[in-house]
Amino acid sequence: MAKVTDAVAALALPVVEKAGCALWDVEYVKEAGTWFLRIYIDKEGGVSIDDCEAVSRPLSDLLDQADPIEGSYTFEVSSAGADRALKKPEHFARFQGAEVEVRLYRPREGRKEFVGVLRGYENGDVTLDVNGAETLFTKQEIALVRLYLRV
């Protein structure tokens, strides 16, 4: 049987595209004892509440019909966000040259967070330009990679 997220992504993709958006990610996670099914969408110029609603209503009906998830869950549709997580090869390809934050499971050089310009991605390994030095982070040590927003 396919993973829940893959099954939901297959159902969601045509609905998301019909709404004029792109499917960024599907997440099925347990938080504080409750399961959440989250659909993250993206659109040139930004995602509005109306875009989320245009995906949420028909997709909710499809999920009820297909019933790919046993048990109850909370369903959410939202924008991928300006500080979105990069997870898939196409995410990294799209944001080559952008400033990103890499968070590690264990400290390296006394810290767990590094900010730099995304220079490469291969098989889960990420290369950043951190203050002029090319730095490689392996898939095994990376907890999260996301776009970095300067405040």
Which stretches within the chain are classed as H helix? 4-18, 49-66, 89-94
Task: Give the per-residue pLDDT at 52.
Answer: 97
Task: Give the per-residue pLDDT at 1.
Answer: 42
Task: Give the per-residue pLDDT at 2.
Answer: 56
Phi/psi at 17 (5° precision): -65, -40
pLDDT along the chain (151 residues), means of 10: 85 97 96 96 95 97 92 95 94 96 96 97 96 96 95 77
Helix axes of 4-18 and 49-66: crossing angle, nearest 10 degrees: 130
Set out the domains of the chain in order of their start, with CATH numbers: 4-79 (3.30.300.70), 89-147 (2.30.30.100)
